[in-house]
Amino acid sequence: MIYDIIIVGAGPAGLSAGIYALRSGKSALILEAKAYGGQIINTPDIENYPGIKNISGFEFATGLYEQATSLGAEVKYEQVISIEDKGDIKIVGTEENLYECKAVILATGAKNRKLGLEKENELIGYGVSYCATCDGAFYKNKDVAVVGGGNTAIEDALFLTNYCNKVYVIHRRNQFRADPKDVDQLKEKENVEFVMNSTVEKILGDTIVEGIEVKDQNTKEKKTINVSGVFIAVGQEPDNTMFSNLVKLDDSGYIIAKEDCMTNVKGIYTAGDCRTKTVRQLTTAAADGAVAALAACSIID
Ligand code: NAP
């Protein structure tokens, strides 16, 4: 079988692309390495998706998944390891199969950025976490730190204040880039302490996190903060190296595409956080899915 469109990634961009492809009468296979939903599945509360006042990331992603599959999108949990451009036909390889299609949409999202500290990898699951909604409940009545100043960090900190004894928010600047409304809400919490202009220099503890060493960027003074958990929320980075021989990437590894979601290769499109763009939000990911799918449909008979 030759699919009309193969979509790589079942996050908001990929699933939205599936919905638009199916509603245009095309067949679509969505290949996902892990689980549907992408990063949004870890967001406790979405309050900025137009038309929905409040919804959890899991509920949103599940609704999107059900909408795409009920229309007929096929979803397979296989890791894509190769894409070959044969002109009008593209061959997409996974560890299990080879699939043929007329157009590909790359919607691979982004992965959590790491701080790059010694022990950071070693202590994942032993106090180091990148997902407060997944792991927060393990830190009930304990002291934890959240690192970062974006929406994820502030939302994580808000979430953790419900469980933890104390939440330290460590941010490298004196201003947050997160939505001011959420920052104000966090400031109202009694069990939060902001450690501004500071970077985490070390994660302390041999087999389990016992604390962090923090350096004040102004005074250069270092101090230890005793915590059982450190939630790292310092943004995302793309994971597109596998496609570097197929499509053009920018210096940071994002697939180069404008608002039309077209890459430099005919028949290969990109959608969501994996492409070059200025606003990486749920709304723009869903919008990209629609734009990329309709562009792909327009070149298919
Ligand atoms: P982000 O907006 O890129 O913020 C990353 C934060 O980490 C920034 O405050 C940054 O500091 C800091 N940072 C980056 N590298 C660092 C390092 N090496 N050491 C210390 N700090 C570092 O990432 P995000 O919060 O994950 O959000 C990603 C995108 O998703 C954003 O567009 C965000 O708006 C969106 N998002 C939306 C929602 C929502 O709407 N509900 C929820 C979550 C995320 P600087 O500020 O100094 O650069």
Domain that holds residue 90: 2-112+236-298
In this structure, the residue with its CA closest to atom 13 of ligand 1 is 234
- Mean pLDDT of the region 225-241: 96
> Could you tell me if residue 118 is inside a domain?
no
Domain containing residue 78: CATH number:
3.50.50.60
Q: 219 exposed, middle or buried (CB, 10 Å; 0-12, 13-18, 19+)?
A: exposed
Query: Has residue 47 been placed in a domain?
Result: yes
* Known catalytic membership, residue 135: yes
Point out the domain boundary residue: 182, 197, 232. 232
Indicate whether 226 and 256 sit together in one domain. Answer: no
Structure confidence by residue, pLDDT tens digits, 73-113: 999 999 999 999 999 999 999 999 999 999 999 999 999 99
Q: Are 108 and 8 in contact (CB under 8 A)?
A: yes
pLDDT higher than 90, residue 255: yes
| 197 within ligand 1 shell (Cβ under 6 A) | no
Domain count, the chain: 2
Where does a domain end: 184, 206, 232?
232
pLDDT tens per residue, range 102-148? 999 999 999 999 999 999 999 999 999 999 988 898 999 999 999 99
Catalytic residue among 85, 131, 216, 239: 131
Overall pTM surpassing 0.85 (yes/no): no
Same domain? 89 vs 163: no
Average pLDDT over residues 185-196: 98
Domain for residue 205, yes or no? yes
**21 plus 75 within the same structural domain:** yes
Per the DSSP assignment, residues forming a β-bridge with 145 are 168, 230
How much is the pLDDT for 174? 97
Based on the residue annotation, tell me whether 134 is a catalytic residue of this protein.
yes
Is pLDDT of 185 > 90?
Answer: yes
Residue 154 Cα to ligand 1 midpoint, Å, equals: 9
Residue 42 has pLDDT above 90, yes or no: no
**Once rounded to an integer, what is the mean pLDDT over residues 262-288?**
96
> Around 241, how many Cα atoms within 13 Å sit in the side-chain half-sphere?
3
Task: State if residue 115 touches ligand 1 by the CB under 6 angstroms criterion.
Answer: yes
- Cα separation of 90 and 243, whole Å? 13
The whole-number average pLDDT for the span 286-301 is: 96
Domain edge (last residue) among 198, 232, 266: 232
Residue range 178-202: average pLDDT?
98
